[in-house]
Amino acid sequence: MQTKTTYKGYLNNVFGIYCGFCPQGLDITEQVPVYYPDEGKVFVKDGEEYAAVVLQEGESINDYQEVEESDNDL
Amino acid sequence: MTIASEITRINNNIANAYTACDSKGATMPVTQNSANLATCIDSIQTGGASSKYGATLDSMLGDVDNNGVLQFPTGQADLVFTGVEEVESFALQYKFYRCFGVATVSFPDLTSLNHLGTVAGYEFYYAFTDCNLTSINFPVLATVGSQRAFQRAFAGSTLPTATFTSLATISGQYAFQNAFSDCTNLTTLSFPALTSTAFGSYTNQFNNMLSGVTGCTVHFPSNLQSVIGSWSSVTAGFGGTNTTVLFDLPATT
């Protein structure tokens, strides 16, 4: 598992969300940590898989189980 | 009955037979007489294309090679579903899965996918997964109310860009979940028609939409910033790597 930062803000008067990188000149309004599972794995919560997770209020990353990606492609 | 009337009857029958052959995608001869009719009929069985989709039976069911081996179907290169305005639940799930020959897909008349309920939706579930897509076209699709309507529909394909020109409402939960996962050539996605009331009570429509995709930019109307800008899936770049989300399109309603 690793954490990357998502940067939100304005660049050339356009609001944008930049995941894992911050473009030069971005007027940052918010920074959010995003959790990514290890290669070949996904997070699972309540039966749904997540390729990345933003924790909501009251949540812990421990609420998500990191498991091998299911082979949905047969 | 006269000889003349009998000849007319036979001629009409032959003409009707050719009309039927044409509708079933037969290879039509220049001279449509009784002598050529058998060959024309045979062309239906040996690769004639469907008049609806331009697809051959061989491409859909798989050809049989010289050793009698039924091959995996390649799919038709260019699929055009003219006249399809709705799709029943599950109707296209896995239909073209790994049909590597499918390159372009167009639903020029499809307006909505709106099957509600716990055992409904899934219209395009895995429909074109792992195809060698170069373009998809849903020019008048306005409403996706069905759950998982496009889940993994285009995943693993070679699609470079996609725009849902008229799509105003995506209220079905998980509607685009993993829809473009592992599309390694994908650089741009656009949803120019989405409205501020497009999403109903769910916030999971785009979960993992870009997992396995690097460097894709997703464009939304400017007024959607306040609607979806704080969603987990959007903030997480739809599960992709180095995703950019821009609210740079003209505002909608």
- The overall longest dimension of chain B from CA atoms, in Å, is 83
Q: Which of B130, B174, B234 lies at the smallest CB-CB distance from A17?
A: B234
Q: What is the ipTM of this complex?
A: 0.90
Q: How far apart are CA B142 and CA B104, in angstroms?
A: 20
Spell out the per-residue pLDDT of chain B, length 253, in tens.
Answer: 789 999 999 999 999 999 988 877 778 999 999 999 998 887 765 556 666 666 777 777 788 888 889 888 887 788 888 889 999 999 999 999 999 989 999 999 999 999 987 788 999 999 999 999 999 999 999 999 999 999 999 999 999 999 999 999 999 999 999 999 999 999 999 999 999 999 999 999 999 999 999 999 999 999 999 999 999 999 999 999 999 999 999 999 8
Contacts of A15 in chain B (CB under 8 A): 222, 225, 229, 246-247
Q: How far apart are CA B177 and CA B196, in angstroms?
A: 20
Q: Which two tokens stand for residue B192?
A: 């120019």
Q: Give residue for tokens 């003209």.
A: B250
Terminus-to-terminus CA distance in chain A, angstroms?
26
Q: Provide the chain A residues 20-39 that lie in CB contact (below 8 A) with chain B.
A: 20-21, 32, 34
What distance in Å separates the CA atoms of residue B125 and residue B119, rounded to the nearest whole number?
13
